[in-house]
Structure 1
């Protein structure tokens, strides 16, 4: 048997589902920026949708991108031609619910496994963040990208985020969700049931029984252990992936977020110019 026959088969590339919808009644940030769709808010010369799409295109782990929104044609028209006409980027209509939209397409021919879910307001996303996320992925059915509070405060002490507090640390989401295959579907269905409570960790853990809820509330359980126990209740393996980049947990939900993201992107552009000049 040759060495080539002994080698592992190549891993399939990931489908990225890029959520770019907004509330049916409109979005406060879209109104604040005087645009119709939040995903098309411009920041430092590019819309948020373009920035996230380009980060996904650049990653060697991503093979296909599915943009989901209530008005997919309008968002497609808002992208530069090289992205709008890319055969590996598709546009699909979404419902008003995030989890319902994902469940309707995940694992289909349009969005084959494995799937990475992210959002258009994740405007600081880079291919380096995506690569680091997948470097830490170990085949979990469900993996959730997070940033630890100490990492955030060391870089941006004034940044305001929603923190899930556990023994040993507090965490904020990075809008990166890996769904490995069919085994992840119960987690998507569960998310549909608790979506309105997504920023209230205790309400989510309440669905897994009083013992896990009490341990979460009393902070006598670590985040990794809590996710593992919740996953076991659904018959799957679930773990957090802690990212070392503070920017991974900064999305654009408020005007102060927009100001901070703009400042960070301006700094990145300046550093890139300096590097080119060397």
Structure 2
């Protein structure tokens, strides 16, 4: 089975504040250890030994010219870019981001080796592992009764049914700055459980399945650094310190 990986490297409409800070046109081109972040991600995918085809989604295709790497023109949002790429590339599809500058081949292999039987899968890391790996990092953790988790920018779309999750992703993306609105979509029971600290990750996943109309699962990665991407200047300085220091 051919495994395709999609690397999201585009920018949302408007200026990219982090790219401006680093003096480049796109965040994906910010150098870490002398290598643009997108190239570090591509190298990790290749070295994992599990990926046969690498595709980069970016709004300016002329910026990426790497041997063996295909290019798709990104859309106006992350979810739309994933949706259009999924339609063009088909399933299964591994999705990650160009700002996942610390990505390592071992993490990719772990993620793929532990996939549950679900249409769409996301990688997560526990807060204790993240903070042990990078005590200075500031992450946003999803709080559940059974633990606090951070996303690892690794997603797996197993079959065509995963397109339903992408459609839900578009809704989530539009409401990403309204956490209560997002929680309310899970239903009254989920809201009450969250308010009293009783919401479990398993129940949240079952509600997502019911709403999206496809099966969903998670892979817990034991690598705390897998949850560290480069979203702001402090992230950039931390990741550069990890790689270059």
Same fold (TM over 0.5): yes
What does 1:205-220 correspond to in 2, within 5 Å? 205-220=183-198
Matched residues in 2 for 1:218 and 1:105: separation? 40
Larger deviation, residues 20-29 vs 242-251: 20-29
- Give TM-score, length-normalised by structure 2: 0.94
Q: 2:97 aligns with which of 108, 116, 119?
A: 119
What does 1:214-253 correspond to in 2, within 5 Å? 214-253=192-231
The structure whose Rg is larger is: 1
The CA deviation string for residues 57-110 of structure 1, in whole angstroms up to 9 with x for no partner, is: 122221211110110112x14xxxxxx121xx21011111111111112043xx
Matched residues in 1 for 2:158 and 2:2: separation? 11
Check the 8 A contact 2:44/2:104 in 1, yes or no.
Answer: yes
Partner of 2:9: 20
- Structure 1 residue matching 2:230: 3-state secondary structure: coil
Partner of 1:178: 156
Deviation at 1:154, TM superposition (A): 2.0
Larger deviation, residues 120-129 vs 133-142: 133-142
The CA deviation string for residues 210-242 of structure 1, in whole angstroms up to 9 with x for no partner, is: 222332343312213311331133222212211
Aligned Cα RMSD in Å? 1.6
Matched residues in 1 for 2:176 and 2:50: separation? 27
- Give TM-score, length-normalised by structure 1: 0.83
Q: 2:61 aligns with which of 72, 89, 97?
A: 72
Partner of 1:189: 167
Matched residues in 2 for 1:201 and 1:56: separation? 32
Change in 2 beyond 3 A, CA 1:63/1:217: farther
Partner of 1:274: none
- Structure 2 residue matching 1:106: 3-state secondary structure: helix
Check the 8 A contact 1:174/1:248 in 2, yes or no.
Answer: yes
Matched residues in 2 for 1:64 and 1:199: separation? 34
Matched residues in 2 for 1:72 and 1:202: separation? 37
- Count of aligned positions: 245
- Structure 2 residue matching 1:90: 3-state secondary structure: strand
Matched residues in 1 for 2:112 and 2:5: separation? 13
Partner of 2:39: 50
Change in 2 beyond 3 A, CA 1:217/1:95: farther
Of structures 1 and 2, the one with the larger relative CO (CA 8 A, separation 6+) is: 2
Partner of 1:159: 137
